[in-house]
Structure 1
Amino acid sequence: MKIATMATGGIGGFLAVRLTQAGHQVATIARGAHLQAIRRNGLMLSAPDGDDGDTTVTPWIATDDPAEAGPVDAVIFGVKCNALESAARACLPMIGPDTVVVPFLNGVEAADRLLGILPEHCVAKGVAHISTTIAAPGVIGQVGSFNRFAFAERDSRPSARIDALRAAFNAAGATAPDTTDIDRELWLKFVMFSAMSGVTAAARCRIRDVLEQPALSELFRTVVAETAAVARARGVALPPTVEEDTWGSVQGLPRDMRASTAIDLEAGRPLEIDWVSGAVRRLAREAGVPAPVNSALYAVLLPHRDGKQG
């Protein structure tokens, strides 16, 4: 298959290495020092402890101009929520009559936002469970060995192009299970992430603090409950035990873990809050359900949305 990673950050980079290693033609869209390092040395996946070592591949194309790739079979779309519009417009030269664009972004609205820019027939839905980042220019670092990529057509119907991409992922060493309800998959992650993002960023804390301080535990669990209520009001078939299941999952997380929102806040980078706490606030109002804690967390983080220091 011809596959493009837009862009080649943690998620796109991981998949670019695995898919290239499996023999697919992968166009890595990147920029700056990261692009120069890929061109010079290849793209490296730094494996977690206990694996067989690092893997370096030479992608089919490494470029900052998607037109160099031309139409591809699939676009792995993994950018920050704030960059969605500009990245989507940049993808247009890679869109052919059967191209599928699979967004792996935080939140639950990426596909809807892409529909305003890309042809409707090419937009799918996806959700990624993996811990990766750009560790250095040209190097993707992975924490732990777990990875799971769920994706489907927007209505979750079976399709040949989704089956082909899923088969490519699985054969390349990524985990891409079948799903019959992609909206459920998206919201199951979002229920957890809305709490992780809002609480660890606003409180400048880590999971250790959430578990050890009862007030933070209560805050976290309330965010989970609010987000789950919004999902159910929108007709998403969440399990009746999702609130307790989510809290149970938190117990097993690394104690030093915090959301990317908290890391971006500390670094003075723009925040994705409009698509996390802000999205819960907005979608709750549309559905007519209360979400006061998500709204409060959004307000607390709002002065830092554009990357203000301090």
Structure 2
Amino acid sequence: MKIATVATGGIGGFLAVRLTEAGHQVATIARGRHLAAIRADGLKLSAHDGEHLVAPWMATDDTGEVGAVDAIIFGVKCSGLEAAAELCRPMLGDDTIVIPFLNGVEASDRLAQILPERNVGNGVAFISTTIAEPGLISQTGEFNRFVFAERDSTPSGRVDALRAAINDAGSVAPPTDDIERELWTKFVLFSAVSGVTAGARCTIGDIMASQPLSATFQTIVAETAALGRKRGVALPDSVEADTWAFAQGLPAPMRASTAVDLEHGNPLEVDWISGAVARLSAEAGLAAPVNATIHALLSPFSAGKAPRG
């Protein structure tokens, strides 16, 4: 397959390495020092199974050089979606599918307002990766699961082809009959992990050791799950209990990317996480006071500045 990664950050870079190793033609879209390093020395991955180095089919910041591809793996920060979506246009053929792997639950709808809807799918990634340095992607932990589908979850050959490519490359891409359920099941967890670890400047271990933080976490879970159900998402009745049980098994030092970005003074995706729960709940006639409070507390840092102290 011909596949492009827009952009080649943690998720795109991980899959670019795996898919290139499996023999696919991967165009890595990057910029600045990261692009220069890929061009000079290849794209490196430090993963649970060792060190990997590939020379992608293309490394460029000009998508007009790439031409039409079979699939675009779309993994950018939520605030960068519009600009990155425009970069996809020169790489779209009639049957190209763009799979968004972003935090939150609105990426597919936002993409479909910019790109032809026939080219837009939906997806959710379960993996912890980051750009450790220019040209190097670092993976934390062994899990790497990518769930994606057409926007309406109907079976399609282009989804099957990309799923087979990712599975054959050694990652996990299971089928799903309800991508919205998959997306919201993760969002129920992530909204709480993000909200509490960033809002309280703490770790999962701190949450488990504190009754007030544990209660706050579980309230966020309940608010987000209630919103999903109100919007017609077929979340399991047990999703709140299942999410809390899963959270108790997470590594104690773990924090959400939101907390890490806050510490480093980077822009935050809070408008698309806690802020989205608050905003969408208000539109649906629901109350989400804890998500709204987390959003209010983090909003001063949404454009990127480190908190005092």
TM-score (ref. length: structure 2): 0.98
Q: Does 1:281 pair with 2:293?
A: no
Map residues 160-179 of structure 1 onto 2, 5 A cutoff: 160-179=157-176
Describe the SS at the equivalent of 1:54.
strand
Partner of 2:205 in structure 1? 208
Residue type at the aligned position of 1:114: L
Q: Does 1:118 pair with 2:126?
A: no
Return the offset for 1:259. Answer: 0.5
Provide, for residues 155-189 of structure 1, a one-character-per-residue CA deviation record: whole Å limited to 9, x for no partner.
00000100111011100111000000000000000
Q: Quote the Cα distance in structure 1 between the aligned partners of 2:264 and 2:299.
A: 16
Partner of 2:63 in structure 1? 66
Q: Does 1:56 pair with 2:53?
A: yes
Partner of 1:248 in structure 2? 245
Partner of 1:152 in structure 2? 149
Aligned-residue identity in percent = 67
Partner of 2:183 in structure 1? 186
Pairs aligned (count): 307
Return the offset for 1:287. Answer: 1.4
Task: Give the ranges of 4+ consecutive aligned residues of structure 1 lying more than 6 Å apart after TM superposition.
Answer: none
Partner of 1:96 in structure 2? 93
Partner of 1:218 in structure 2? 215
2:193 to 189, 193, 196: 196
Return the offset for 1:135. Answer: 1.1
Describe the SS at the equivalent of 2:5.
strand
Return the offset for 1:197. Answer: 0.8
Q: Quote the Cα distance in structure 1 between the aligned partners of 2:62 and 2:266.
A: 25
Partner of 1:261 in structure 2? 258
Partner of 1:11 in structure 2? 11
Q: Quote the Cα distance in structure 2 between the aligned partners of 1:47 and 1:208.
A: 24
Partner of 1:20 in structure 2? 20
Larger displacement relative to structure 2 (183-192 or 281-290):
281-290
Structure 2, gaps ≥5 residues long: none
Residue type at the aligned position of 2:109: D
Partner of 1:47 in structure 2? 47
Q: Quote the Cα distance in structure 1 between the aligned partners of 2:136 and 2:301.
A: 29
Q: Quote the Cα distance in structure 1 between the aligned partners of 2:162 and 2:256.
A: 29
Residue type at the aligned position of 2:97: V
Provide, for residues 64-118 of structure 1, a one-character-per-residue CA deviation record: whole Å limited to 9, x for no partner.
1111111100000000000000000111111111100000000000000001111
Residue type at the aligned position of 2:149: A
Q: Quote the Cα distance in structure 2 between the aligned partners of 1:47 and 1:275.
A: 29
RMSD: 0.7
Partner of 1:83 in structure 2? 80
Residue type at the aligned position of 2:63: P
